[in-house]
Amino acid sequence: MLRALSFVGLLAMIGAAVGMFATGNLFSAAPAVIAAQVAAGALMVWARVTFGLRSFHATADPTEGGLVTSGPYSTIRHPIYTSVCLFVWAGALAHLSPLSGALAALEFADSLVRMIAEECMLIVRYPEYREYATRPKRMIPFIF
pLDDT at site 57: 73
83, amino acid identity? S
**What pLDDT sits at residue 65?**
82
* Res 110 pLDDT > 90: yes
> What span, in angstroms and rounded, lies between the C-alpha atoms of 135 and 125?
19
Is 129 a residue whose pLDDT tops 80?
yes
Of all residues in the chain, the percent with pLDDT exceeding 70 is 99
What's the whole-model pTM score? 0.94
pLDDT, one tens digit per residue, over 90-100 is 999 999 999 99
pLDDT of residue 108: 98
Opening angle at CA 67, ends 61 and 70, nearest 5:
125
Tell me the pLDDT of the chain averaged across its residues: 94
What is the rounded CA–CA span in Å between residue 78 and residue 30?
27
Please write the tens of the pLDDT for every residue from 28-50: 999 999 999 999 999 999 999 99
- As beta bridge partners, residue 76 has 137
